[in-house]
């Protein structure tokens, strides 16, 4: 994977990165779009605010099995992302990771120009937005912000980094229970703390965590974190009795959910429906040469599944191809007809 580090930062379009298609969003749909653009013989640049590919999968559940990908009875999130990156790699996509797509304009020739919050400028034949739920920000752990990077985390991209730790997971949703189950084999101990006795997580996931012998502390909250250079102890307080106890912890996973919004995309002039981007059957937006695909889109009958996003981004890229080159065919032919 080629991550761009030497990128133009001038607003002068003549110094912009030139690409046939700019994909905004490096989640599953975006990565498949990078493959499909390459398959169509187009150059492609992928921009994402996160520092790694995979979107929510990499950030929230890289170790979780996914069961609704066609042709895979089950595939681990991390493996799906790795395979999508490998699928696109022969076509040499360029990645701008850690760059938020901030501003959109159109040049004198009608081509979109996107500038990132890091100062990179990309001039494209077309833009395909595959931003998932948009920008998602973790809900903070009130007692723990001072320990971010010193034991408190929101994501667990590498469970092995917490080997031998006493871990406290805070939350009652699927992510909290998933992290507890994933960390159980490598951690010295795992506790899950939730403010009520009712969980948002799927019942089977709750049963799995109970079967692993993980302590589930209900009607309680993490009221304080303690330690010198790094986290050493967590204070847990019962919400009714106010009784507290200290437990050892070198890692606290705050899995309290996320706040999502479209971020700067809201200011691009896109037609929005319920905070989603409205598209037509071509996956075209109301803006010239700007398409969208995946969970970020909305249209009558929309179903938000990864598998649907794969089809949508293929539709978007093929229609974008005919905009970039009006003589190009919409249907590219089957991949089995291409020489290896």
Annotated binding site: 48, 56, 61, 101, 136, 295, 336
Matching residue, tokens 């917490």: 162
Are the beta carbons of 96 and 47 closer than 8 angstroms? yes
Cβ neighbours, 10 Å, residue 307: 13
Matching residue, tokens 């703390």: 193
Return the structure tokens found at 111.
């081509």
Are the beta carbons of 231 and 249 closer than 8 angstroms? yes
Are the beta carbons of 83 and 66 closer than 8 angstroms? no
Return the structure tokens found at 266.
């809201």
Distance CA 158, CA 191 (A): 19
Distance CA 175, CA 256 (A): 9
Residue 246 parent element (H or E):
strand 244-248
Distance CA 233, CA 207 (A): 27
* Residue 296 CA, distance from chain mean position: 12
Q: Is 96 in a helix, a strand, or coil?
A: strand
Cβ neighbours, 10 Å, residue 237: 17
Q: Which of 199, 179, 200 is nearest to 64 (CA)?
A: 179
Task: Specify binding-site residues for FAD.
Answer: 48, 56, 61, 101, 136, 295, 336
């Amino acid at each position: 994977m080629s991550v761009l580090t030497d990128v133009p930062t001038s607003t002068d379009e003549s110094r912009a990165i030139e690409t046939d298609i700019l994909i905004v969003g490096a989640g599953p749909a975006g990565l498949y779009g990078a493959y499909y653009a390459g398959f169509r013989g187009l150059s492609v640049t992928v921009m994402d605010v996160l520092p790694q590919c995979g979107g929510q999968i990499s950030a929230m559940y890289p170790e979780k099995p996914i069961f609704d990908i066609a042709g895979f009875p089950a595939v681990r999130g991390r493996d799906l992302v790795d395979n999508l990156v490998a699928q696109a790699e022969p076509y040499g996509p360029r990645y701008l990771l850690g760059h938020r797509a901030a501003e959109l304009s159109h040049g004198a020739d009608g081509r979109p120009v996107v500038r990132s919050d890091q100062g990179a400028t990309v001039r494209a034949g077309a833009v395909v937005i595959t931003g998932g739920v948009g920008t998602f920000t973790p809900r903070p752990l009130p007692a723990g912000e001072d320990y971010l990077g010193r034991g408190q985390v929101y994501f667990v991209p590498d469970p092995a980094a917490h080997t031998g730790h006493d871990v406290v997971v805070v939350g009652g949703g699927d992510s909290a229970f998933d992290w507890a189950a994933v960390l159980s084999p490598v951690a010295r101990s795992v506790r899950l703390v939730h403010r009520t006795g009712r969980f948002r997580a799927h019942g089977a996931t709750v049963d799995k965590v109970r079967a692993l012998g993980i302590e589930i502390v209900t009607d309680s909250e993490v009221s304080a974190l303690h330690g010198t250079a790094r986290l050493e102890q967590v204070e847990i307080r019962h919400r009714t009795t106010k009784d507290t106890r200290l437990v050892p912890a070198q890692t606290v996973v705050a899995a309290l959910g996320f706040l999502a919004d479209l971020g700067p995309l809201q200011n691009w002039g896109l037609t929005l429906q319920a905070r989603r981007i409205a598209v037509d059957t071509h996956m075209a937006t109301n803006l010239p040469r700007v398409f969208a695909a995946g969970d970020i889109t909305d249209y009558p009958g929309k179903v938000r599944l990864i598998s649907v996003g794969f089809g949508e981004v293929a539709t978007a890229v093929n229609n974008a191809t005919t905009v970039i080159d009006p003589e190009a065919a919409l249907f590219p032919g089957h991949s089995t007809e291409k020489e290896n």
